[in-house]
Amino acid sequence: MPFDALPPIGMGTFRLKGDDAREAVRSALSLGYRHIDTAQIYRNEAEVGDGITSSGIPRREIFVTTKIWFDNYHRSDLINSLQTSLQQLKTDHVDLTLIHWPSPGDEVPMEEYLGALREAQKEGLTDHIGISNFTCAQMDQAKAILGDTPIFTNQVEVHPFLANRKVVEHAQNLNIPVTGYMPLAVGKVMEDETLQKIAAAHHVTPAQIAIAWCVSRGVVPIPSSTRPKHQTENLDALKIRLGDEEIRAIDELDRGERIANPDFAPVWD
């Protein structure tokens, strides 16, 4: 039975390698995570698959996301590469497949790679399809190309120092749910005085406040953590309810500080 919505929080695996990736995924699932996010370019799909298998949690209860790298955007390459990803992940399908970045310089037309992704969905390789790092204009273009085929998410960088408000609101207006990666700004949230103050009032950590703020905006956070203690805290952050003044104070931390900004990135909104 396919999931009809994204689980409320996911476990990100960016930069996790080898046994660290295996154990982090196994631990996260044992603690209650049901959404695991990986990508071809992370070069850890096999280890993520090992972690899922060793967790003992039935595959049907786990939402698995992977992302196609732009070297594989031509029609035949995309489906072949996704089949390789499935082999590495030790599964016959993933729940969600994303286009990781818009094709740099539009080298491969969006019609081609989104069409191939839709074909992969029709072949049963993936239950849902989506996009990542797409701008407002690119979301409009993707929606026009895919027509009645739902875009399950646009996965973009979201944290208190990069609210990414224009993209988040545009996606939500298009009924495209938003997944927020790097919600802890690679640990920088721990050092912020505003977040520390709000965290102290709730007897939680600044990281938990950053996650609760994402959730308050309707964004699904996918923090990455290898420590069971932090994984548990991330899950517990879903229970935190921030007041309007606290949300406003966190909103004011936005300084457009983009961490993931490679030279092939689109022109951001």
Give the active site residues. 42
**Alpha-helix residue ranges (DSSP H) falling in the chain:** 18-31, 45-55, 75-89, 110-122, 136-146, 165-173, 193-202, 206-216, 228-236, 244-251
Beta bridge partners of 226: none
Pairing of strands 11-12, 178-181: unpaired
List phi, psi (to 5°) of 132: -145, 140
**Within 13 Å and on the Cβ side, how many CA atoms surround 223?**
33
Cβ within 8 Å of residue 233, ≥6 positions away = 204, 205, 207, 208
100 is in an annotated binding site: yes
d(CA 32, CA 57): 10
Concatenate the DSSP letters of all residues of 1-25 into one string.
---SS--S--EE-TT--HHHHHHHH
Cβ(230)–Cβ(208) below 8 Å: no
- Annotated binding residues for substrate: 100
- Annotated binding residues: 100
